[in-house]
Each structure stands twice: as C-alpha cells, then as structure tokens.
A = this chain, B = another copy of it.
Amino acid sequence: MNTDATGIAPRDERSLPGDDRVRLTDAASVELAVRLAGASGLARSSRAERGEWLVAIAEAVEAHRDELVALAEEETHLSAARLDGEVTRTATQLRFFAGVIAEGSYLEATIDSPDPSLVPPRPSLRRMLRPLGVVGVFAASNFPFAFSVLGGDTASALAAGCPVVVKAHPGHPRLSRRITEVAQAALAAAGGPAGALQLVEGMEAGIALVQHPAVTAVGFTGSTRGGRALFDLANARPEPIPFYGELGSLNPVVVTRGAIGGADGAAGIAAGLAGSFTRDGGQYCTKPGIVFVPEGAGFEAALVEALAGASPQRLLTDGIAAAFDRGSVELAERADVELVFGGERAGDVAAPVVVATGTSAFVAAREAFLEECFGPLTLLVKYADDKGLDAALAALEGSLTATIHHAPGEDVAELAAKLEPIAGRIVFNGWPTGVAIAWGQHHGGGWPASTASVHTSVGATAIRRWLTPVAWQDAPAEVLPAELADGNPLGVPRREDGVLRLG
C-alpha cells in the first residue's frame, strides 16, 4: 500500500508525552506491551461488553475530533477536510464491528446432537469461534486514522476479543500516541480493559512484535518489501502465526472501445480517472495505477485536459516523496514509455504524472511496470485489439481491485471473468477509490495485494482473521460459552443438526 518505516527516530523523541521514562521502541517495551495486553482480560468479556467499549472508543475519537485532525494535518499534510472525513470513517468502522458482534453469526455457532446410529457414531458436538489471543497490528501511513492505531485491523481484533499491540507508523507518531491515550481513557471510563490496546514504535519493536511467542496473528498494511520481510519472520517462528498483509496493488482499469463511444465518452472517463488517481496525492492503496485504453481513441488528450486544473499535494513523508520522484522519473525515462503529462511541481509538493506504453512493451518489461509507484502517477497501456489486451491482463499480479469501463449493455462477462482471479473487488463504470464500509466489502485479490488469499482486511469478515474454532464434545453445560447453551438464550444465528436457524 505504501512505504513502511525504515528510519527509527532517536529514542529521546519517542518517549510518551508526559512520561519520559516510558520507551516504546525496544524489545523490552514489546514484552511489556504484550504482557499488559494479554493480562487485560479482554478475551473473557462478553460480546455485549465489547460492543459498548467499541462505541465508547468511537465517541471518544469524535469528541477529540478537532485536536486529532489538527495533529494529523501537521504530521501528514493531508487536508483537514479529508482528515475530518476519515475520523468519521474510523468511528463508523468501530460501530460497524460493534454491530457485527452483536448480530453474532460471525461465531459460526454449531450444535450437533448425539446420534449413535451413524458410522462413526456422533457424540454431542458444539462448536464456535473463539478469540486467538494477543494480535499485532502494523499501522499504515496513508490513513492516519482509518488504517492506523484505531483502524479496521484494531477494530475487528478488539471486536473478536483479541487485545491489540499496535506498531505505530513513523509518519504520524504524535497522533498515534495521542489517539492511543484517548482510546485507553475511553476504555477505562466505560469500565473496560484499558490495557487491551498498546502502542510500540520503530522497526526494532516491530520485529520483536512479530516474533513474540504470545502474539498469535499479525495485521499489516505497508510496502511489499517491508511486508514480505515481516511475513517471512512470522513464518520462520518455531510456531508460525498467520500474517495478514496488504502489500501493494496496481488496481488495473480496462476502458473498452465501447465505453469511449458511450455517454461518458473519453472526456467523462478521463475526468473520473484524473480525480481518482490524484485524490489526496494518489496515496491510496486502491489508486488506479494502470489503465488499459484503446489505441487511437483520443484518451490521452482527454486525460491531459482533465488534469489541467489538478492541484499538487505534499506527500505524507519525505521518504514517500523521494520514492515517488525516483519511481516516476525511472518510468518516464524508459525508451518504451512516453510522458503524457508531467504537472508543475512547486517546492516539496508532488504533481500528477501520466506515462504511457503499449501492450507488447508492458508484457516484455512486466516486472518494471508492476512495481507500485505510490503517489499521483498512473500508467496508460494502449491496446490495439483483444489479443494484445488479453496478453497484458495475463501479465498482471494480484490487486485489491480491477475496474471495467464499458458501454451500457456491452457484454463484459468474459472480461470480468479474466479479472476475477487477480482482483478482490471488480468495479463497473466507477472508480476503486472510496472504499465503502459494508458487509459485502472486500480487500483481497492475492499476492502482493493480499498475503492471505482466503481472507479480507475490510468488511465484516475481517474479524474472521482473529478467531479460531473450538469444538466441545459431550461437554457439561457449565463449560460451554453462552452462545452454545441449550435453547439459544443469546439468540445468535446457529446451525443445529445441520440446519441454519436465525436465533
């Protein structure tokens, strides 16, 4: 999704405000954080309690909205309007997961009654999902609220009953510390376990977190390089743990010839693309980074026109800005690439860049073109015919999204089927940025967009990553969780002797 922590700030800048004895950056601080989180008692709480605590955190974040937005603006250079919307999104996510656990089907509660006539005979079996344990979450740079300390990974893990140790992103350290305090205070005020959320900082702490024996799973949003290194560490443990990472995504868009001749036409589609790939400096994991357009349909000219008024944006960190400059220059200077648009830069802000190539060149230099350039850049790949387009699509890797722009009534089922194996979400006549918070939402699409092909980091089932099944055989009633009790006193959806009942 973006570049991860590589530099560690000096220790004396890393102490908690108001308490310069507390260090957050070394293995000892991870040991303390994991212990405090594990001892918080969150796993023993009820769904009703956790729902209240999530709402309390959401309310606290909203109550501190102005202070938090000001801090974030200073540290990330994102606009106050964007950050204000993101605070709302973050609170909505926390409330969404409160709703998910209240509804209860995420538990997969299942009851099989004994049947000695079967081969083999069936005892009483009752099964449901239980929290895994302490979870490590690596915050992202580009959503300082919604994919950071209190983002979707944290919200879904706390909802599941898993205490969370967050590794802060170095792009917004003061915001990370402050929002942790706000959340811990809200938990305590609501009678909840304030220790269930802990913060550590810096690369050394991040590595110790992934390797800590009591950490049971990791959520990560960041760069392919950093994510791969942590994925490898998680798997190299004596007892490996699941690593749910979102590492990078090109989000291909296919514009059909029919779409150019449709109502929106080249101008309409180009305007939409310009808005999507430059939005907030193009610093979205769902930014359309590669666009397949029909040759000779005038799309480049339309895009240049659409970008005339595009405003430059100072990028999140100096490291991201430098990587963007390097990546865009490398692409633009290639012999097989044409510079379509290079916006005027002013000082330390980044201006939009559009480069173009053909399908043969794209396939031939696949690896160079598949490297994500985080920031306001998109690559046009001009195709002459279906054969060229198909070859180029076959060269793609996993992506969070794929998008098709088509004419009304045009049959795109075959095209959609070709994109399905490499995209978690397929968008039609729209843009992949602006991820709705919904039960049906999904971030996936396979490596490198997702390290875990069978899971999602957004939408209701993101909670599934932090849960493990347990089955009880012939258990006395007092041993069973309330959701598995006779008569379904908590009214959760349950499968009883194979039949799903709504509860």
Q: CA–CA, A125 to B440, complex, Å?
A: 6
B470 pairs with A112, CB closer than 8 A: no
- Determine whether A301 belongs to the interface, using a CB cutoff of 8 Å to chain B: no
Which of A65-73, A85-93, A337-345 lies at the interface with chain B? A85-93
What sequence of 0s and 1s flags, for each residue 460-496 of chain A, a beta carbon within 8 Å of any chain B beta carbon? Answer: 1100110111111111101100000000000001010
Q: CA–CA, A452 to B235, complex, Å?
A: 11
- Determine whether A411 belongs to the interface, using a CB cutoff of 8 Å to chain B: yes
Residues of B within 8 A of A111 (CB): 440
A429 pairs with B235, CB closer than 8 A: no
| One of B240, B436, B459 near A123 (C-beta < 8 A) | B436
Q: CA–CA, A428 to B133, complex, Å?
A: 24
A217 pairs with B453, CB closer than 8 A: yes
B441 pairs with A475, CB closer than 8 A: no
- Determine whether A424 belongs to the interface, using a CB cutoff of 8 Å to chain B: yes
Which residues 423-472 of A have a CB within 8 angstroms of B? 423-430, 434-442, 444, 446-448, 451-456, 459-461, 464-465, 467-472
Which of A13-21, A289-297, A346-354, A413-421 lies at the interface with chain B? A413-421
Q: List 18 A-B contacts (CB under 8 A).
A: A89-B119, A118-B436, A120-B436, A122-B436, A239-B398, A242-B452, A242-B454, A411-B478, A412-B479, A424-B471, A426-B479, A427-B474, A430-B473, A430-B474, A441-B471, A454-B464, A455-B469, A459-B469
Chain A residues with CB under 8 Å of chain B are 85, 88-89, 92, 99, 103, 105, 108, 110-112, 118-123, 125-127, 130, 132-133, 216-217, 231-232, 235, 239-242, 397-398, 411-413, 416, 420-421, 423-430, 434-442, 444, 446-448, 451-456, 459-461, 464-465, 467-476, 478-479, 493, 495, 498, 500, 502
